[in-house]
Structure 1
Amino acid sequence: MSLICLGLVVYSFKPEGHLYDFKTITVVESIVPNGVGRSRMIESLEIKDYKEFSKIMSEDDNERNKADRGEIRVKNYEETKLLNFFNIGGIRFQNIAANDAIVNSRVSQFLDEGWEIVSINSGVESVGSADDNNGLFITRFYFKKQIN
């Protein structure tokens, strides 16, 4: 009986700290003409603690953050090739549909694994001048999953 009670206590104990795991997937789609850009879906396979690379700035201590860029860099990540929005003939709607199918497949897998979408954010980067034909369309998918 005491083993059963001990088992229930251990099973119901949740360690202090995080209640959720989080994941981010970033989709970078090139809007560079002639198909010369690179489009990818990226997922980090490493966990980083932001505190290792953070510094609290104050009036008394305003020296720059000296975190080592090499330690911040992630070397283990999953890269999924996507198609560029443009090819030599101009905008390619089949490429957009193909990218949608691949991204939907990955998002569906996350949902099947018990992850929940927290938010989706997107933006476009370009120089903004009339002559600018280069840029990126970036979408970030944020997921969370409760830790058991």
Structure 2
Amino acid sequence: MKKLKQSLFLIGLMTTLTVSAQEYKVVTIIESIVPMGAGRSRIIETQGTPDVNALTTTREGNKSKQDLIEREDLKEIGENMKETKLLNFYSLVGINFGNIASNDAIIAAKINEVVKQGWSVAFITSGVESDSGTNDGKGIFITRMFFVKK
């Protein structure tokens, strides 16, 4: 009986210590806050997995080898993506709350779609670069949703 308890304890400990690999997915939402609806708003989801080691160099003091990595290699990664159209925050007369409500529904549908594929929301972060005055006329609201799958 004692050996059985010890065996069960070891099996339980091994099961607890088993590390499961996790995979992450990032979905980015860009919502334009350019006046008069002139901006572009999208949900962006990249496809495939880049070789991050091929894009990484080692810095030695002040000497960087980043110039050995071609911009075209980085741009190729972004060419293969899913793009979902959203509405802009602003219309001709100002903030358009109907557009915001439509975007909320589309974003919720996207989250539900990704969750149905077996992903879980790990965390969400956002930031804004807003219109800084009469001569700016530019701005975006960016949200990154990080999903995890075991």
Larger Rg computed on CA atoms: 2
Count of paired positions: 128
* Mapping 1:12-51, distance limit 5 Å: 19-51=21-53
Distance verdict in 2 for CA 1:30–1:105, change over 3 Å: same
TM-score after normalising by structure 1: 0.80
TM-score after normalising by structure 2: 0.79
What CA distance in whole angstroms lies between the structure 1 residues aligned with 2:51 and 2:38? 35
1:95 and 2:99 correspond: yes
Q: Which runs of 5+ in 1 are unaligned?
A: 1-17
1:24-82 C-alpha deviation (Å, 9 max, x unpaired): 100000000001000000000121121111111122x7134021111112211000000
- Report the residue type matching 1:128 in the other structure: S
The answer (yes or no) to whether the contact 2:47–2:82 under 8 Å persists in 1 is: yes
CA-CA distance at 1:100 after TM superposition: 0.6
What CA distance in whole angstroms lies between the structure 2 residues aligned with 1:63 and 1:109? 41
SS at match of 1:104: helix
- Report the residue type matching 1:117 in the other structure: V
Q: Give the RMSD, CA atoms, in angstroms.
A: 1.7
What CA distance in whole angstroms lies between the structure 2 residues aligned with 1:89 and 1:127? 16
- Where in structure 1 do 4 or more consecutive aligned residues deviate above 6 Å? none
The answer (yes or no) to whether the contact 2:34–2:131 under 8 Å persists in 1 is: no
Q: Percent identity?
A: 39
The structure 2 residue matched to 1:83, chosen from 78, 81, 87, is 87
Q: Which runs of 5+ in 2 are unaligned?
A: 1-19
More helix by share: 2
